[in-house]
Amino acid sequence: MVLFGCMLVACGRDLSDDPIPFVPFPDLPVNLSFPEYQSLAIDGGVKEINNIGVRGVIVYRKDKSTYYAIERNCSFRPNEACATVNVHVSNLYLTDPCCGSNFSFEGVPTGGAAWRPLRKYRTELNGNVLTISSEAVN
């Protein structure tokens, strides 16, 4: 019985990996009417913005009034050089090819080694301007 309990512990997830880094940034206003943000004009649209956060953010439009800004730094062993989340080629989910983890567009782990959600930044929509702030909302 003791051996069985030890086997369960050994096979569990490693919950002791590094804390997720944080790099504050000034509010970023994104004018959604600009051509470079055309992909965010439809529900399910995504856009990578690489000049904010730790490794950049992925902006996802859930519907016309709900946008998510998700940190691209993977939550599993986040200090490894390759711990970067990308939009999967199918455009159906996010993936980190380094650790093999997958995430929903809300940053929730759906498979692989990651057990923590991705950092989600506050967004605010005012007309055609979406403002992304470094304030974490999860």
pLDDT, residue 138, reads 79
| pLDDT tens digits, one per residue of 81-138 | 999 999 999 999 999 999 999 999 999 999 999 999 999 999 999 999 999 999 999 7
* Torsions phi, psi for 9 (to 5 deg): -65, -40
| 30, two tokens | 């994104």
What does the alpha-carbon distance between residue 92 and residue 119 come to, in Å, rounded to a whole number? 19
Residue 19 has pLDDT above 90, yes or no: no
Residue whose token pair is 């159906």: 92
Q: What is residue 65's three-state secondary structure?
A: coil
Lowest mean pLDDT among 16-20, 72-76, 120-124, 126-130: 16-20
Percent of the chain whose pLDDT exceeds 70: 88
Structure confidence at residue 13 as a pLDDT band (50, 70, 90): low
| pLDDT tens digits, one per residue of 58-71 | 999 999 999 999 99
pLDDT, residue 16, reads 56
- CATH fold for the domain made of 25-136: Rieske Iron-sulfur Protein (2.102.10)
What does the alpha-carbon distance between residue 55 and residue 85 come to, in Å, rounded to a whole number? 9
Measure the N-to-C terminal CA separation of the chain; round to a whole number of Å: 39
Where do the structural domains in the chain lie, given as residue ranges?
Answer: 25-136
pTM of the model: 0.86
